[in-house]
Amino acid sequence: MPAVKDLGDDTVHVYLNGKFVAEENAMISIDDRGFLFADGVYEVVHVYGRTLFEWDLHMARLQRSVAAVELPPVDLVSLRHVAEELVSRLDASESEASLYLEITRGTHRRSHGFPPAGSTEPTVLMWVRPVVPISRPTIEDGVPMISVADDRWAKVWIKTIGLLPNVLAKHKAQQAGMFDAIFIRDGMVTEATSANIFIVESGTLHTAPTTNYILPGITRQVVLELAAARGIAIDLTPFSYESLLDADEAFLTGTLTEVLPISEVDGHRLRHTSGPIARQLLEDLHRRAGWPGSL
């Protein structure tokens, strides 16, 4: 199963702790708390052309994550300047890119407690890499999924770099020749390893409510707005694994995933493997991004 939005092979433009650096000079200490404890938060922003899609929404979520893990507040104005500088370094031929931003609690000799006040600065890393757009056949075929138990912690709403359960679930899916895994908690669908999930049942759009048990996706939020603008009925009550299997259509949403139809779950083919509402919303998303897209 090919990865969607493969990162381009080589070009990466990097900023680390106040400097634009060549990739080979971007060094992080063995005592960085992100490395030692996954003590950090991150964001990923989709770059369409030279536009940072929904930058303000991503930064608002970043501030919430930063506050939740008690990092010092970030200076959003300077982050924006850094992001724009990195994006300006992309080649004209590199039409879509991924911007990755990570902030950790900084570098200090290993000890679980926070470093003493004033003893370290947060590590700030940002990079931009071109991505290969999702192919039309992938959208037309939809992607096959497995389900796994959602055994993550109770604060998945914070976008922390501690993603081992997601990594293990994705690996399990890939080993089974599938695209990704859907987390199920108490019989209810929460989300996928790096995307939110929607289903359509008799014309109504369902997605899990924003509780502590999902990451409140920026794309999820945008898609809900786009659906409302089209007059599509929306239901934000939890939905079960059985209703996923019985749905008319189902799709993933995410920054780089965009709106991606699901074809099957645990070997059970969905009624529409690439449904009309998913395609409509993908088109609307591209329009909002000012992007021609792949449909």
Ligand X SMILES: Cc1ncc(COP(=O)(O)O)c(C=O)c1O
- How many residues contact ligand X, by CB under 6 A? 14
Q: By CB under 6 A, is residue 196 in contact with ligand X?
A: yes
Among 194, 207, 263, 274, binds ligand X (CB under 6 A): 194
For residue 33, count CB atoms less than 10 angstroms from its CB and return exposed for 0-12, middle for 13-18, buried for 19 or more: buried
With a CB cutoff of 8 Å and minimum separation 6, the contacts of 94 are: 8, 11, 130
Residue 80: how many other CB atoms lie within 10 Å: 14
Beta carbons of 49 and 124 less than 8 angstroms apart: no
Smallest distance, ligand X to C-beta of residue 84, A: 20
Select from 90-98, 116-124, 194-202, 259-267 the region that touches ligand X (CB under 6 A).
Answer: 194-202
Among 12, 47, 101, 215, binds ligand X (CB under 6 A): 215
Query: Exposure pattern of 272-295 as b/e (b: 16+ CB <10 Å)?
Result: bbbbebbbbbbebbbebbebebbe
Q: By CB under 6 A, is residue 4 in contact with ligand X?
A: no
Select from 7-15, 238-246, 248-256, 262-270 the region that touches ligand X (CB under 6 A).
Answer: 248-256
Please identify which of the residues 19, 155, 159, 172 carries the catalytic annotation. 159
Residue 22: how many other CB atoms lie within 10 Å: 9
- Tell me the sheet residues that pair with 45: 99
159 in catalytic set: yes
Per-residue DSSP letters for 7-36?
BPSS--EEEETTEEE-GGG----TTBHHHH
Smallest distance, ligand X to C-beta of residue 19, A: 27
Select from 3-11, 17-25, 86-94, 214-222 the region that touches ligand X (CB under 6 A).
Answer: 214-222
Among 146, 218, 270, 281, binds ligand X (CB under 6 A): 218
Give the ranges where 52-195 is alpha helix by DSSP (H).
55-68, 76-88, 136-141, 164-175
Which CB, 106 or 289, lies closer to ligand X? 289
- How many angstroms separate the CA atoms of 5 and 82, rounded? 23
Residues 74 to 133: which contact ligand X by CB under 6 A? none
Smallest distance, ligand X to C-beta of residue 45, A: 9
Which CB, 15 or 53, lies closer to ligand X? 53
Residues 148 to 187: which contact ligand X by CB under 6 A? 166
Among 219, 244, 250, 291, binds ligand X (CB under 6 A): 219
φ and ψ at 60, to 5 degrees? -65, -40
Q: By CB under 6 A, is residue 134 in contact with ligand X?
A: no
Which CB, 30 or 154, lies closer to ligand X? 154
Beta carbons of 8 and 131 less than 8 angstroms apart: yes
Smallest distance, ligand X to C-beta of residue 101, A: 12
Q: By CB under 6 A, is residue 255 in contact with ligand X?
A: yes
Query: Exposure pattern of 150-168 as b/e (b: 16+ CB <10 Å)?
Result: bebeeebbbbbbbbebbee
Q: How many residues does the chain have?
A: 295
Binding site for ligand X (CB under 6 A): 44, 166, 191, 194-196, 215, 217-220, 253-255
- The set of catalytic residues is 159
